Amino acid sequence: MAATLAAQAVSWPLLLAQVHQVSLIAPLANLLVVPLVPVMMVAGAIGAAAGTVLPGAGWLPLQAAGALGRWMEAVIQVTGSLPFAALTTPYFPARWLVAAGILNGGVLVGLKLRRFFWQKKVWAVIGIAGLLTVCLLLIRPDGRVHVYALDVGTGSAVLVRTANGRQILIDAGPDADRLVQAMGRALPPTARTIDVWLITGGRRTSVGSAAAVLSRFRIGAMLIAEPDPWSASLRAVVQQAESAGIRVGPAGSPLELDGVRLNLASDGRSWLIEAGHAAVAVVPPQTSWQSLPSGVTGAIFTGGGPSVWQGPAQGVSVIQVAAHSRDGLPVRAFLQSLGAARIYRTDRLGTVELVGTPLGFRPVN
């Protein structure tokens, strides 16, 4: 039990960073399972050895080993299904790992020197305050603009997180489950507010997951930028938002939030996300563009990308598309027109994250 707790205490930051989950029930499960492991191994070895000498002689030891194995499986299934059996944190960036490591190390050092700190209470208070300050500084927003081309299949769903941790969502994509999972991985567990939700189209590829957004997040404002007549789906989304008390209105251009500007592009359908000197375009399949305008350092092609494109692309090109698209997207001619551009596809990489830099938006995948 002591060894299990010690291993858990040391490794929990790495578990959260790598597998995004740490078991809270593992010490109890290990207490019920680990003492029986040597017995099962010995019984299995005896059964295997006896069976090679005399057929049937190893039956009883092997049955005993099998019974122990079934007991272990039952313990794992029962304890793993308990509420709060594990702590899950889909969002756990590197700076959180550093903060967790510092906090973990400080606690372990404090336990080792507990007698000294008990005698010198002032140093204990200073040490705890210092640890908490460092950790709070590390887990706060990193001061950079992050743009996520969410892995929602063939559709449109782009999340913008500003330098101070505010959120802008462009569309919602067609698949509610994939949208929720992608946003859960991109956002901290405490981020449950979408400050601005910009809807650029009324098709299922843009608003198919709207109900999931409305049910899981607090929406500051919903802005509609659909250039075509509203579809029945879009009307239903707007009515649901208004009934929930969400402010709904037309999307003016430019939109600005916490240093991030969204401008409607010259084709009347694409939107430019600008942060400082960095600019990336969100380009739908219905665009009249055949190449990116100058000054744009990258593009997120939603819905699998346009069928006609001359390019070549500038900077990074992200394509939101489902794996094994039934529509054959993205089309070969579009991929060929991008030339030597760096191409990032959500069907191969999952959600693609771009970070704003003085030289433009750069991928971190």
Short-list 314, 322, 306, 303, CA closest to 343: 314
Domain assignments of the chain as residue spans, ordered by start = 2-88, 94-139, 146-363
**pLDDT above 90: residue 94:** no
Written as six digits, the tokens of 283 are: 């380009």
Taking CA atoms, 140 is separated from 17, 69, 103, 134, in Å, by 16, 45, 15, 10
Q: d(Cα 281, Cα 273) in Å, to the nearest integer?
A: 6
* Strand pairing class (247-250; 260-264): unpaired
* Strand pairing class (316-319; 342-345): parallel
List beta partners, residue 261.
256, 274
**pLDDT above 90: residue 137:** no
Q: Are 111 and 118 in contact (CB under 8 A)?
A: no
Q: d(Cα 150, Cα 161) in Å, to the nearest integer?
A: 13
Residue 242, pLDDT score:
95
Q: Quickly tell me which residue has 């993205």 as its tokens.
A: 330
Q: Tens digits of per-residue pLDDT, 26-72?
A: 888 888 888 889 999 998 899 888 888 887 888 898 899 999 999 99
Q: Are 277 and 295 in contact (CB under 8 A)?
A: no
State whether the Cα torsion 25-28-31-32 is positive or negative: negative
Pick the CATH number of 146-363 from 1.10.3720.10, 3.60.15.10, 3.30.300.30, 3.30.365.10: 3.60.15.10
Instruction: Count CB atoms within 10 A of the CB of residue 179.
Output: 27
* Strand pairing class (352-357; 342-345): unpaired
pTM above 0.75, yes or no: no
